[in-house]
Amino acid sequence: MLQHDNVVARTGRPPGRAPGRGASRRGFLAGAAGVATAAASPALLTGCGSGGGSGGKLTFWNQYAPQRTEDPAVQRQSQWFIDLVDQWNATHDRQIELVFIPNATYTDGAKLPSAFAAESGPDIFLISPGDFLRYYNGGVLTDLTPYMDREAIADYGDSLETRTVDGRVYALPMEVEPLAIYYSVSAFERAGLSEGDIPTTWDQLLDVGDRLRGNTRAGLAFDTEPGYYQNFTWYPWMWQGGGEVFAEDGSVTVNSRATRQALQLWQDAVQFGIAPRTMPAAGDLLNAFQGDNVAMWQSGIWEVASFRAHAPDFEYGVFKLPVPEGGSYATAMGGWAFCANAQGKDPESAAEFCAWALGTMDERCIDRMVDWCTVAKTDMAPRESVLELGEASGGYDFWAMKKFRDEIFPGGRGEPRYPPVVYKALSDAIQGSMLAGRDVAGQAERAEAAIQAYVKSYEGASLI
């Protein structure tokens, strides 16, 4: 935990107690939209827990909606949630109602933060590490620690680092999702490349990408849309050069050589025509590969499920992120987590549900997490016991899952939990460098200045 006055909370609250209401509802919505002028103090988050539900049922918002009936991967994932809630409802008086939200609306829109600002937040919901402090500092995350098995907390290990404050757990991860680079075997072969040409350095990555690009095919795809996800995919490139947004003493250190070279890598990929300015196939990795619109693409372990469901015969490969000269390997690990609304209809039952679903040593709890990570989806397990059982049951025997487990996952770091103003300063630097072609030194300097100004009046949980 940071020990710098500019970064560490100065709330005066006893350890483990979530903060109360902060600034204005407008300030929160500004943060939700990524506006860098949002208030530095915790923004208002309230929620009566109605969430579009009915009666006394607790509403559970999630983005794993059955969007396409012909999509077996989506169906498996949405069915997992349906089965989970059905099991709870069959054995508990307090009932839960699933509310499916389309993925783009849930993860990229303002629906969830807007619901809380309008005092109609769901009782149970999913958040990524990147959004943790938005909701913790807003006072709407229930402390789940009293409802969990102590052995289960230990079983999570490092997976809880970005979801805890003062040793208290406020969100339970259901998965761990490391990033890597996927490539088309056919595109490699047509360019005269083989497994021996798989890049291990940044220079090799650009060289190979240059050889793979064509009139209608991108050599390499980095995410181009501004948002928490793009930041998530960019962090490993900064880390590999030793860069950090905050030093251990709490000082802001984003204006570093490592940051500048990471921004330069993405800028060079676009300016040299290797990476596109917009995502191929509207961001659909599988269709882009099948349509020969891209040869390499940075994405996460979840793509294995898409290939398995929709293109089992498509030949693809996956390799860990290359490193810069003098750098060391790192990847970012995301993943969604269950949260309970501290201001909902029944926070205790909502917290009990989260712990029952993901936070006990009960065999059924472990089994359902194995099923999520290796059957319904393709993820690394966030708990040691789940990973062990997943391995024993063959969940990581498939070549791609084995590569993630053995080569990619060991170098992973959890996705940072930066609040909207910090995220936006970094996002602006990425966008300015990558797509606008601005000087990377200036972009890094401006990002550092914006973050330094923010943390001077920041009040909330540690930023790391």
Mean predicted confidence (pLDDT) in 386-404: 98
pTM over 0.85: yes
Please name each of the domains of the chain with its CATH number. 45-176+335-407 (3.40.190.10), 177-333+418-455 (3.40.190.10)
DSSP of 388-428: HHHHHTTTT-SHHHHHIIIIIGGGEEEPP---HHHHHHHHH
What is the C-alpha R_g of the chain?
A: 22
Amino acid 29: pLDDT: 33
Give the count of beta carbons closer than 10 Å to the beta carbon of residue 151.
10
Amino acid 406: pLDDT: 97
Amino acid 26: pLDDT: 34
pLDDT 10s digits, 17-38: 333 333 333 344 334 433 333 3
pLDDT at 166 over 80: yes
pLDDT at 145 over 80: yes
Q: What percentage of the chain reaches a pLDDT higher than 70?
A: 86
pLDDT 10s digits, 268-299: 999 999 999 999 999 999 999 999 999 999 99
Residues contacting residue 253 through CB under 8 Å, at least 6 positions apart: 243, 244, 245, 246, 247, 448
Amino acid 103: pLDDT: 75
Mean predicted confidence (pLDDT) in 447-455: 97
Give the count of beta carbons closer than 10 Å to the beta carbon of residue 266.
23
- Residue 180 identity: A
pLDDT 10s digits, 238-266: 999 999 999 998 899 999 999 999 999 99
Amino acid 108: pLDDT: 65
Please give the Cα distance from 57 to 124 (Å, whole number). 11
pLDDT at 417 over 70: yes
DSSP SS3 for 451: helix
Amino acid 304: pLDDT: 97
Please give the Cα distance from 146 to 351 (Å, whole number). 9
pLDDT 10s digits, 56-91: 999 999 988 765 556 777 888 999 999 999 999 999
Residues contacting residue 406 through CB under 8 Å, at least 6 positions apart: none
Please give the Cα distance from 343 to 134 (Å, whole number). 15
Please give the Cα distance from 294 to 395 (Å, whole number). 29
- Residue 249: in which H helix or E strand, if any? none
Mean pLDDT of all residues in the chain? 88
pLDDT at 362 over 90: yes
